[in-house]
Structure 1
Amino acid sequence: MNFKQMEGSKSGFLSKENYIFLFSALAVVYIAGLFIPLMENDAAQFSVMALRMHQLNDYVNLVKGTEEYLDKPHMHFWLAAFSYKVFGVHDWAYRIPALLFTVLGAFSTFGLGKLLYNKEVGRLAALIFVSAQAIILANHDVRTDAVLTGATVFAIWQFAAYIRHRKASNIILGAAGMAVAFSTKGQIAVFVAGIAILCDLIYTRKWKVLWSWKVIAGIITFFAFSAPMLYAYYLQFDLHPEKFVNGKYGNSGVWFILWRQSFERLAGERGMQENSDFFFFHHSFIWAFLPWSLITFAAIFNGVKRLIKAKFQYKNDLDFLTLGGFIIAFHVFSLASFKLPHYINILFPLAAVITAQYLYRLFETAQDGIARIVLIAQYVVVGACVLLLILLNIWAFPIDNIFLGIVYVLLLGLVLYLTFARKALYQKIILMSAWLIILVNFMLNTNFYPKLLEYQGGSEIAEMAKDKNIDPESIYILEGRWSRSLNFYLQQETPSLSLEEVRIRTDHDKDLWIFGYNKQKQMLEEAGIKFKEELTTMHFMCQR
């Protein structure tokens, strides 16, 4: 059965008006997330590294605190520094590139779904992508993953279009997108895009597309767009073998990014926390791809079953690009010794297309019995999420804004209405799930996270210092106990003093402020160093 022929053959799936309302509401959620204080560690750390670039006009050297940084490549930091230059140094300005690349990722996911199936699958895939929990999270707790994901799915879409249409523009755009992704986080982008496209070539048997001058043009484009990052690495590390970085001398930045980086993470080298749990990403995916993750598991099972039944023969209503790309990459990641949940974000566009085509196929083939089982699973998701919202926003951090409280009640009422109302089966599954995640993240972004981050000491102390008009240049940290959020909101790399240096300076400086935690305060007291005034706040690590 050909999805492209079936498009528009039935009504009652999801109207354009529904898409407009959903994307508009999600835009509000994303915009609300722009103004949350930056969280430690990575988001605050990366924002300060980009701030250093901006303040010193040094776009070659990556520096973390006082140390040379050889891990993530330059693109994320360049984009953030450029955003500071355009908009000024603000936490929301740091997040703008992530938001723009998420928009690119949504558009590319739509394009990929439309290319492989039809426009309806593309629309739903884009909706699923931007409403996935970890994608929303990645736009306020901004690391490198939003830029990486958007650029990678753009590359996959363009390469897949080249395989089908053989246009030079597609392979050149794809190569440029992959170069941006590679310059953001390294080989993982090339691996994911490469696996997906290899799976597509194996399934479609269109190997002849590789024997063309256009492929050579694509390779040249990839290295041309990667050249600024490679050259910056060459200047910072290859020309300076005397630098002691990552525990050794003689580092080659170019060799590191072209070969060593991902293997270090796979092996858990350089003191990276080892996580040998093979199923870590499997259970992380359940929350990270909410509210769609349970449907995705069913979609993957169904897709594999249909491929086996078809004996891997090509069919228009099947694709191996998303299914094979997702399964293979996901399980290769699971073999790594170093794992964090956001490492699988790059696969979410593929998961979105897999899920969208599954729901659309259930609809078009009138498999209402299976769809009712899917609906029951989504009832469980709704119940669990609403219960968690009550715990977080009523018990842990009570709502104290009347206007926001009214909005929360209205959104909750809409979710409950969609849960219990008699509506078309497939509309109910999609609308209930999407509005649920809108409710969840609007409450998180406007109530939970702002209140949680009142317990992040660095950003809170920076705000207190501004209120008291304390000169940031008079603030130091004790014994290298860094706070990246303090540095960002003071807009400086706060210098460190030893205990002896503090003792000497207290005899000469009239205005000396020391930032520290309980341990540092105890060190000062035991050394007999007295302080005239104290600014205090509670501090807890708000994330891992």
Structure 2
Amino acid sequence: MTDIAPPLNDRWFYALVVAGIFLNATGLFPPILEPDGALYACIAKIMAQTGDFVNLYAVGRDWLDKPHFPFWVSALSYLIFGINTFAYKFPALLFFMGSAIYTYKFVRLAYSKLTAQLAVLVLLTAFHGVLSNSDVRAEPYLTLLIIGPVYHFYRVFLGDKNDLSKNWLHLLLGSFLTGCALMTKGLFVIVPIGAGLGLHWLLTGNWRELLKPRWYLAVVLSFVFTLPEIYCLYQQFDLQPGKVVFGNTGVSGIRFFFWDSQFGRFFNTGPIKGAGDKFFFLHTLLWAFLPWSLPLYIGVGKALVALVKRQNPLPEYVSLGSSLATFALFSLSGFQLPHYLNIVFPFYAILTAQFLVSLNPVNLRRWTVAQSIIGLLLVVLIVAVLFVVKPAKLGIALSWVIIITLATITLFRQTTMLSLMGRMVGAMLVLAGVLNLFLYPTFMQYEAGLTAARFVNEQPLLAKRPTALYGPGTFGESSWSYEFYAHAPTQYIREDSVLRQMSSHRAVQVFTTNTYADSLEIRGFRVRRVAIFPYFHISQLTADFLNYDTRATTLKPYVLIEVK
């Protein structure tokens, strides 16, 4: 295929890729963020410590919400690296890097080398992708487990007449990765995997592909590879209907996997509900895909206009179909969170890259200037945040900003495609570095469970004692980070009667809120406060918390107490 424009110099491209990987790898350094990340880390910790890879437990009870695959991967990582922050986050980063490789390979099936290079760099620098490699949930895994099957199935569609065995190998690999995706998020992963392929066949006159037996075989194989998940759910829940789950008995884990966790959330009829907004992802994507959101929106708009006018057909419609179908699905859902769209960032990156490559020299210069302004605004914003937050290493943080900014300006002075990509990598390197190396370490001082666990671990008289995590209401604010980082065992206590029985013969070490500690004293327990730890819900930052001068007014005290 003839390049519209020459590709980036390989040395520059690989240098930018290394910088992109590094800016994502800075997310390995901050501790695990509450609440979801710490919860998932604890579930995998229990799995690794007990050797039980069938049952999922959280907060001392059977847990039915997410499928097993990410927990299996995290638990295996714990067995290799030990139970720590790195071991939890590192596999997710590897999966994300794998998604960049698959993105490149997929783009090269239909586009120029330049388009593939740009797509990889866009994917590595999209803001919420970077954020998800610090606040690790299922999305870094799914990013690979979506683009991977699409690549393999597209290879099957293109075919290899010289070696038919490769077609079957790609069908098998695509089905395996689809099975892993199902065991990560559930049934709806079929939409981003299958919708784009279906749209491509329809728009390119290959609709007969929908009738070919090999695709029905792929569906069957995908569910065959999902059988480990079905088995685990059947063993933990369906075989034991007396278990209380979501406040009910007789809950089927298999039904939850196929219906309640997916359609129940979509229609907002399941046990876990949300408040859907049809325009939520339309405005969320504007900041989540920074610094590339504007070229993405314009690129998608131009592709849709061309499609309606039947002009300038795209080399493939898989990216457009998968990204728009998933966007529509999540927009119509009754349960929405900002990170949901991360799983189709590879397709957004492809659409963005395709638009950038199509620019003529004049428009390329204009877009280089416009994107540079966006990058500069991000740098100015992060510097302003530094002065408001006042982290402990403010001087080093400002030096980081100045050095990378000056290096970026020096190296990428021209208005070329290389300069455009280099400037955006530089801007995101500033942003990710400041966020993960300087701001999050400051914020994490207010993750009370983390600081309390570290305090206990460093005290010889406290370190070996088990800790009761007391919460008569619901858990989740800071108990999960304590459970993960504490070296000694922990136990969740909900009822006073249990705590009273435990403390009748010996003092019990308890971690709880100061309000709950006061309530224990009122109800006749003898409480001795060992230490107090300030707490804030860091995943929901506010202006008052960010502001060094008003931060103290936003904090809630947690306490480590001795109860008799």
TM over 0.5: yes
Task: Find the residue that maps to 1:60 and give its secondary structure.
Answer: coil
Task: Assess, with a 3 A threshold, how the Cα gap between structure 1 residues 417 and 257 changes in structure 2: closer, same or farther.
Answer: same
Separation in structure 1 between the aligned mates of residue 529 and residue 235 of structure 2, nearest angstrom: 46
Match of 2:52 in 1: 58
* 1:169-208 correspondence to structure 2 within 5 Å: 169-208=169-208
**Structure 1 residue 403: Cα displacement:** 5.4
* 1:23-38 correspondence to structure 2 within 5 Å: 23-38=17-32
**Structure 1 residue 206: Cα displacement:** 2.3
Separation in structure 2 between the aligned mates of residue 177 and residue 497 of structure 1, nearest angstrom: 40
Corresponding residue to 1:100 among 94, 109, 115: 94
Separation in structure 2 between the aligned mates of residue 354 and residue 121 of structure 1, nearest angstrom: 9
Separation in structure 1 between the aligned mates of residue 147 and residue 426 of structure 2, nearest angstrom: 25
Corresponding residue to 1:445 among 428, 436, 441: 436
The residue type paired with residue 230 of structure 1 is I
**Structure 1 residue 341: Cα displacement:** 0.3
Match of 2:403 in 1: 410
Match of 2:325 in 1: 328
**Structure 1 residue 181: Cα displacement:** 0.7
1:460 has 2:451 as partner: yes
Contact 2:265-2:273 within 8 A present in 1 as well: no
Match of 2:289 in 1: 289
Separation in structure 2 between the aligned mates of residue 388 and residue 525 of structure 1, nearest angstrom: 47
Separation in structure 2 between the aligned mates of residue 78 and residue 137 of structure 1, nearest angstrom: 22
Corresponding residue to 1:49 among 43, 46, 70: 43
Separation in structure 2 between the aligned mates of residue 255 and residue 534 of structure 1, nearest angstrom: 46
1:476 has 2:468 as partner: yes
Contact 1:242-1:250 within 8 A present in 2 as well: yes
Task: Assess, with a 3 A threshold, how the Cα gap between structure 1 residues 219 and 532 changes in structure 2: closer, same or farther.
Answer: closer
The residue type paired with residue 177 of structure 1 is L
Deviates more, 1:463-472 or 1:91-100: 463-472
Gap runs ≥5 in structure 1: none
Match of 1:524 in 2: 520
TM-score, normalisation: structure 1: 0.91
Task: Find the residue that maps to 1:427 and give its secondary structure.
Answer: helix
1:359 has 2:351 as partner: no
Separation in structure 2 between the aligned mates of residue 373 and residue 279 of structure 1, nearest angstrom: 29
Separation in structure 2 between the aligned mates of residue 66 and residue 269 of structure 1, nearest angstrom: 26
Task: Assess, with a 3 A threshold, how the Cα gap between structure 1 residues 272 and 388 changes in structure 2: closer, same or farther.
Answer: farther
The residue type paired with residue 378 of structure 2 is C
Match of 2:548 in 1: none
Separation in structure 1 between the aligned mates of residue 498 and residue 174 of structure 2, nearest angstrom: 54
* 1:141-220 correspondence to structure 2 within 5 Å: 141-165=135-159, 167-212=167-212, 214-220=214-220
Separation in structure 2 between the aligned mates of residue 210 and residue 168 of structure 1, nearest angstrom: 17
**Structure 1 residue 526: Cα displacement:** 2.6
Contact 2:264-2:271 within 8 A present in 1 as well: no
**Structure 1 residue 55: Cα displacement:** 1.1
The residue type paired with residue 175 of structure 1 is S
Task: Assess, with a 3 A threshold, how the Cα gap between structure 1 residues 36 and 207 changes in structure 2: closer, same or farther.
Answer: same
Deviates more, 1:520-529 or 1:156-165: 520-529
Contact 1:114-1:120 within 8 A present in 2 as well: no
Task: Find the residue that maps to 1:495 and give its secondary structure.
Answer: strand
The residue type paired with residue 393 of structure 1 is L
Deviates more, 1:172-181 or 1:486-495: 486-495
Match of 2:235 in 1: 235
**Structure 1 residue 234: Cα displacement:** 1.3
Could you give the per-residue CA deviations for residues 239-258 of structure 1, whole angstroms, max 9, x where no partner exists?
12222222433222223222
Contact 1:102-1:149 within 8 A present in 2 as well: yes
Could you give the per-residue CA deviations for residues 127-159 of structure 1, whole angstroms, max 9, x where no partner exists?
111211111111121111111111111011111
Match of 2:549 in 1: none
Task: Assess, with a 3 A threshold, how the Cα gap between structure 1 residues 30 and 253 changes in structure 2: closer, same or farther.
Answer: same
Task: Assess, with a 3 A threshold, how the Cα gap between structure 1 residues 426 and 336 changes in structure 2: closer, same or farther.
Answer: same
**Structure 1 residue 529: Cα displacement:** 3.8
Task: Find the residue that maps to 1:516 and give its secondary structure.
Answer: strand
Corresponding residue to 1:490 among 486, 489, 493: 486
**Structure 1 residue 178: Cα displacement:** 0.8
Task: Assess, with a 3 A threshold, how the Cα gap between structure 1 residues 271 and 393 changes in structure 2: closer, same or farther.
Answer: farther
Separation in structure 1 between the aligned mates of residue 400 and residue 39 of structure 2, nearest angstrom: 34
Task: Assess, with a 3 A threshold, how the Cα gap between structure 1 residues 401 and 274 changes in structure 2: closer, same or farther.
Answer: closer
Gap runs ≥5 in structure 2: 161-166, 541-564
The residue type paired with residue 419 of structure 2 is K
**Structure 1 residue 506: Cα displacement:** 4.8
The residue type paired with residue 85 of structure 1 is L
Task: Find the residue that maps to 2:108 and give its secondary structure.
Answer: helix
Task: Assess, with a 3 A threshold, how the Cα gap between structure 1 residues 212 and 271 changes in structure 2: closer, same or farther.
Answer: closer
Task: Assess, with a 3 A threshold, how the Cα gap between structure 1 residues 197 and 349 changes in structure 2: closer, same or farther.
Answer: same
Deviates more, 1:515-524 or 1:190-199: 515-524
Could you give the per-residue CA deviations for residues 190-238 of structure 1, whole angstroms, max 9, x where no partner exists?
1211111111111222244455554354234312311111111111122
Task: Assess, with a 3 A threshold, how the Cα gap between structure 1 residues 230 and 505 changes in structure 2: closer, same or farther.
Answer: closer
Match of 2:558 in 1: none
**Structure 1 residue 502: Cα displacement:** 4.3
Contact 1:132-1:292 within 8 A present in 2 as well: yes
Identity of aligned residues (%): 28
Separation in structure 1 between the aligned mates of residue 170 and residue 399 of structure 2, nearest angstrom: 48
**Aligned alpha-carbon RMSD (Å):** 2.3
Separation in structure 1 between the aligned mates of residue 396 and residue 470 of structure 2, nearest angstrom: 43
1:394 has 2:387 as partner: yes
Task: Assess, with a 3 A threshold, how the Cα gap between structure 1 residues 493 and 468 changes in structure 2: closer, same or farther.
Answer: closer
Task: Find the residue that maps to 2:469 and give its secondary structure.
Answer: strand
The residue type paired with residue 350 of structure 2 is V
Could you give the per-residue CA deviations for residues 504-524 of structure 1, whole angstroms, max 9, x where no partner exists?
6555325x3221112112213
The residue type paired with residue 111 of structure 1 is K
Separation in structure 1 between the aligned mates of residue 518 and residue 197 of structure 2, nearest angstrom: 58
Separation in structure 2 between the aligned mates of residue 276 and residue 402 of structure 1, nearest angstrom: 43
Could you give the per-residue CA deviations for residues 400-458 of structure 1, whole angstroms, max 9, x where no partner exists?
2765553332112234557xx74033233222112111110011111011111111100
The residue type paired with residue 175 of structure 2 is A
Match of 1:223 in 2: 223
1:538 has 2:534 as partner: yes
The residue type paired with residue 421 of structure 2 is I
Match of 2:554 in 1: none
Separation in structure 1 between the aligned mates of residue 258 and residue 502 of structure 2, nearest angstrom: 47
Separation in structure 2 between the aligned mates of residue 231 and residue 373 of structure 1, nearest angstrom: 56
Could you give the per-residue CA deviations for residues 40-64 of structure 1, whole angstroms, max 9, x where no partner exists?
1110000101111111111111122
**Structure 1 residue 503: Cα displacement:** 5.0
